[in-house]
Each structure stands twice: as C-alpha cells, then as structure tokens.
Amino acid sequence: MELSFDLAATSALPPVLKERAMRALAGRLAGGVLTVTGSEYRSQLRNRQAAAGRLSALLTDATAPPPAPRRATRPSRGARERRLKAKRQRSEIKRLRRSSED
C-alpha cells in the first residue's frame, strides 16, 4: 500500500510550514511528492492506516520549529571532582591489574 502526498502543490499548509517541510524532507521527495508505504499487515485497511500514521508523523516532525540553540554552560565543581575521582579509581584498578615485573 502506497500513500502519496503532493507537498509542493498543497494548499493545506501555510507557506512558511510548507517551505520548512520541503527543506526537511528534500531527500525523500520525488518531484515534490512524498510517498509512504505500508506493508507490515495482511489487511489493506490496516496498511493504509499505518501509512497514514507514518505520513502524519513525518509531516509533523518536518514542520516542527527548529530547537532553541544550546546555551553553553560549565560543569559544576562537584561534577568535575566526581569525574576526576572516577578517573583516579579507574587508573588504580588498571594499575593493580598489571604484573609486578614492569
């Protein structure tokens, strides 16, 4: 079961969302048409519903606004100390594994 959606010619989406979806799904579009297949069920109806759900999820993800940029933060003093303590412990474990002839 194949389900196609002509993203380039649709008027269901505002121009801003349409452009965002076109950019996000550029690799999946063939001539501005998005095609989704469904063949995991034996029933044509269930395959059609699965394909429609996948198409809906694809369009929802493609039209979502970009995430907010990450704000740079520094690790806390406690986090630095815990990391260094763990490194010392790991180093000690590896040192004890070595033979005493070294």
CA max distance for the chain: 77
pLDDT confidence tier of residue 102, bands split at 50, 70 and 90: low
pLDDT tens figures, 28-85: 888 888 888 889 999 999 999 999 999 999 999 989 998 999 999 999 999 999 999 9
CA-to-CA distance for 22 and 6, rounded, in angstroms? 11
Which class does domain 2-63 fall in? alpha beta
Cα dihedral sign, 49-51-53-59: negative
Choose between 9 and 81: higher pLDDT.
81
| pTM more than 0.85 | no
User: pLDDT at position 9, please?
Assistant: 87
User: pLDDT at position 25, please?
Assistant: 87
